[in-house]
Chain A
Amino acid sequence: MDRRPGASRGAPVNRNGVERTADSALFDGYLEPDRPHPDAYDEMFDADGTVRAPYRQLHDAIAPTAAADLTVRSEALDRAYLDQGITFSLSGKERPFPLDIVPRVISSAEWNKLQRGIVQRVKALEAFLADVYGDAQIVRDGVLPRRLITSCEHFKRSAHQLNPPNGVRIHVAGIDLVRDAEGTFRVLEDNLRNPSGVSYVMENRRTMARVFPDLFTRQRVRAVGDYSTHLLHALRVAAAPNVADPTVVVLTPGVYNSAYFEHSLLARQMGVELVEGRDLFCRDNIVYMRTTEGEQRVDVVYRRIDDDFLDPLQFKPTSVLGVAGIMNAARAGNVVIANAVGNGVGDDKLVYTYVPDMIKYYLDEKPVLPNVSTFRCWLDEECGHVIDTLDELVLKPVEGSGGYGILFGPNASRKELADARKSIRADPRGWIAQPVVQLSTVPTRVDDRLVPRHVDLRPFAVNDGENVFVLPGGLTRVALPKGSLVVNSSQGGGSKDTWVLAPNRAPEAERELGQAGLASPIGPVQAPAAEHGPELTIGQQQQQQQQQQGCDD
């Protein structure tokens, strides 16, 4: 337990930690004063260059590494992804998803707070969605204007009074967090529709464990491999109560979707069918799947297609991706759509600014995680401020995702600013503005050095109606270009394995073992076997299939 990882490798050991600084060759010039955004919070080093506590073991392990070794290992990481065929498309070119070799570390105490904050947020947003698609009591009580909801593009009137059997609408949430210059985690946005990226969390861990098995033997890192177990559990309990053994499917738009890999991974890990719209049909408000053995009734659809394409009878009539009639089947209580239709009203970026009010209203609690301060262009007084100081702000469209349509005021040309002001005046409801958040930095490999690069964090939460499970970890996205604050993979970002350190007294089962078992997609199941019986069985079968597949490769 008290092993000093650095010692065996001959690295300088510093028991008090004070001298453990950025002096290794890898970190040469890491904290150079003229770097962009020098005020940003660096997660490994404090202002004096001392290594922060959660990173000490990691730092000691990698600091003595020779630069050449770093490059070799990093190439091995890239190859691991290419070998599995995991790529993503950037401007039409398929590239391996860049995984950086330095993990991002979150201490047990930090994580506890994040977890509490995320659970609180998901609960408040669940209450909000139930309210908005019910009697809208929050509007009657004057906490929110009705206009805020009705003007939201993703407010789906066809989901009105459509109440899921166990009340859950947010089966999966991705809460995007950033860390400001003081080191405080803040919520940047909520993703309640089809948050994607969890496959990278699992694959990043699997790959890191393969290439750096030694790192995991020194650290107590919490496992992320059991995500699918939790997801399957949440989907099964979401089914109507009179269904004894619910059939769950994953509905994908198809192989051309950028997240298809994730859809297939989740379906495989859960041991359920991966289907497209044409594989399903509704008859008399019951959803069936076409199989080689005839029709099979479907009880829960984990759909990874957008609302507008889900049901051509209710939404876009031209959509061929969805299932005609599925909304009425859900309304009749014969199928559960996960995540629920209309969740977008909860993750609208203007609605986001009211989430602290919702937490107070529904839970009577104080927000554990603060928002990023935000100016709302639809309020006249705040709009004026945005127009006047646009060159210092980040302007975002309320409906946007993937980093599209964002304007960085400080980098924008006069013309861009003028155009943006025109857009704001034309549609004040469509825009919010935030001060530039100097995202925290984590050492990241660029060539044969480690340099500070900005990161964010998307943890994933799964709500089964009783508990909100937050996967310990999450997707850390890193902006690879120097000084860039845009982390979206569609804008040239990469990712990092995210380590949540286990508390010292955690049972052994909860930590990542760094052994062969780690590479299996299903990690240890912590809950009593009785409750997880069926899932566990499926998990074991799945594991076998996985290994067979490995042999074929």
Chain B
Amino acid sequence: MGWRIRVVHETGYHYNAPVHESYNEVRLTPRSDGHQNVIVNRIETVPATRSYRYEDYWGTQVTAFDLHAPHTELHVTGTSVVETGDEVEPVATATWEDLASEPVRDRYTEMLEFTEYVTKDPALTEVARGIKRANAPVDAVAAACRWVHENMTYQAGTTGVHTSAPEALAAGEGVCQDFVHLSLVLLREMGVPSRYVSGYLLPRKDTAVGETVSGESHAWIEARTGGWWGYDPTNDMRIGERHVWVAVGRDYADVSPIKGIYSGGSAEALDVTVDMTRLA
């Protein structure tokens, strides 16, 4: 039995001069599936706006809103209560031959292609070749994630929102976004359909019911070796009751939690907090 978790994700923008027009899209709404059950989701903004919701190409709930009164601050809060599932078991039914077959390669073509973040790199090609030779697909997924975990140090501040996988590897350190992009390079190099998952991780295993901890916006991968299953390369662990997923896509660009354009002042500060409470 999983947990019941409340996530409060707040983003605050502060501008140095009034902003007159602002158009935004946020992806902060978890969706129910076999792993999790969403009880409540609410998106609120200050100043208040009228929002519009739709489902994008990847199946993610998007909330769009615009502001036309001058403002120097904008706060966006996404609040969700989610029942999470048990640990996700790897799916081991596919062989390398299955993955190389034309129907599979065509069906999952978007999850096999390289992107501006998930970029081909000769060193990573070598690594992927080695892992593929020694493992069945399901084990290769774990091995690739482990390789990234071992070769990268978790360190915020070194990489940015636009850092590609090879750039992060060169730096040797990064955040979950970089861990995920690197894992995706290895997996796609091996021909395993794989995708970027954004969501939240309740950081401590021993969190008591009723306790609120400062969490984080998180990311992990899903690979398809006969069926989709997730793995968390940043922590080298399986997806379990502490993971809440929100969106999937080819890379970060498909799932970015908040994007917008505005005219007027320029942003001086951006505050992001994620508070997670274990409710049950």
Contacts and interface: CB of A to CB of B under 8 A. Distances in A.
Contact of A283 (B64, B68, B113, B261): B68
B109 interface: yes
A331 interface: yes
Contact of B21 (A160, A285, A324, A332): A324
B54 A313 contact: no
Given A284-B50, A284-B66, A285-B52, A151 B260 contact: no
A313 B261 contact: yes
A363 B132 CA distance: 46
A313 B21 contact: no
A328 B261 CA distance: 14
Interface string B43-64: 0000000101011111000001
B128 to A, nearest CB: 21
A184 interface: no
A313 B109 contact: no
B26 to A, nearest CB: 12
B54 A331 contact: yes
Q: Name the residue among B57, B107, B259 with the largest chain A CB count within 10 angstroms.
A: B57
A541 interface: no
Given A284-B66, A331-B54, 10 more contacts: A147-B106, A147-B109, A150-B109, A151-B109, A281-B21, A313-B24, A324-B21, A324-B66, A325-B66, A328-B54
Interface in A156-187: 157-158, 160-161
Contacts of B25: 313, 328
Q: Which 9 A-B pairs have the closest CB atoms?
A: A157-B57, A160-B57, A324-B23, A147-B109, A325-B23, A313-B23, A328-B64, A145-B106, A146-B106
Interface in A267-322: 281-285, 312-313, 317
A326 to B, nearest CB: 10
B260 A313 contact: yes
5 contacts: A146-B107, A150-B110, A158-B56, A285-B64, A325-B66
A25 to B, nearest CB: 63
Contacts of B106: 145-147
Contacts of A313: 23-25, 259-261
Contacts of A150: 109-110, 113
Contacts of B109: 146-147, 150-151
Contacts of A157: 56-58
Contacts of B113: 150-151
Q: Name the residue among B24, B106, B107 with the largest chain A CB count within 10 angstroms.
A: B106
Nearest to B254: A157
Given A160-B56, A283-B66, A324 B261 contact: yes
A157 B57 CA distance: 6
Interface of A: 145-147, 150-151, 157-158, 160-161, 281-285, 312-313, 317, 324-325, 328, 331-332
Contacts of B107: 146
The secondary-structure label for the interface of chain A is loop
A331 B54 CA distance: 8
Nearest to A334: B52
A158 B253 CA distance: 13
Interface string B84-113: 000000000000000000000011011001
A145 B109 CA distance: 10
Given A146-B106, A150-B109, A317-B261, A282 B23 contact: yes
Contacts of B260: 313
Nearest to B49: A284
Contacts of B23: 282, 313, 324-325
Nearest to A326: B23
Contact of A282 (B50, B54, B66): B66
B57 A332 contact: no
Contacts of B68: 283
Contacts of A281: 21
A151 B115 CA distance: 12
A324 B260 CA distance: 10
A138 to B, nearest CB: 13
B260 to A, nearest CB: 7
A283 B21 CA distance: 10
Contacts of A145: 106
B58 to A, nearest CB: 8
Contacts of B55: 161
Contacts of A284: 50, 52, 66
Nearest to A312: B261
A145 B110 CA distance: 12
Interface string B1-31: 0000000000000000000010111000000
A163 to B, nearest CB: 12
A282 B67 CA distance: 10
Contacts of A282: 23, 66
Nearest to A146: B106
A36 to B, nearest CB: 44
Contacts of B64: 285, 325, 328
Contacts of A146: 106-107, 109
A427 B250 CA distance: 21
A145 B108 CA distance: 11
B3 to A, nearest CB: 33
Nearest to A281: B21
Contacts of A158: 56-57
Interface string B253-280: 0000001110000000000000000000
A325 B50 CA distance: 14
Contacts of B54: 328, 331
A377 B261 CA distance: 40
Q: Name the residue among B21, B55, B64 with the largest chain A CB count within 10 angstroms.
A: B64
Interface in B216-235: none
Contacts of B261: 312-313, 317, 324
A241 B23 CA distance: 27
A320 to B, nearest CB: 10
A249 to B, nearest CB: 20
Contacts of A285: 52, 64
Contacts of B57: 157-158, 160
A130 to B, nearest CB: 16
Contacts of A324: 21, 23, 66, 261
A313 B55 CA distance: 16
Nearest to A157: B57
A332 B66 CA distance: 14
Interface in B105-127: 106-107, 109-110, 113
B276 to A, nearest CB: 30
A317 B263 CA distance: 12
Contacts of B259: 313
A318 to B, nearest CB: 9
Contacts of A317: 261
Contacts of A161: 55
Nearest to B107: A146
Nearest to B66: A325
B194 to A, nearest CB: 16
A123 to B, nearest CB: 26
Nearest to A159: B57
Nearest to A314: B25
Nearest to B50: A284
A216 B259 CA distance: 59
Contacts of A147: 106, 109
A331 to B, nearest CB: 6
A325 B58 CA distance: 20
A285 B63 CA distance: 12
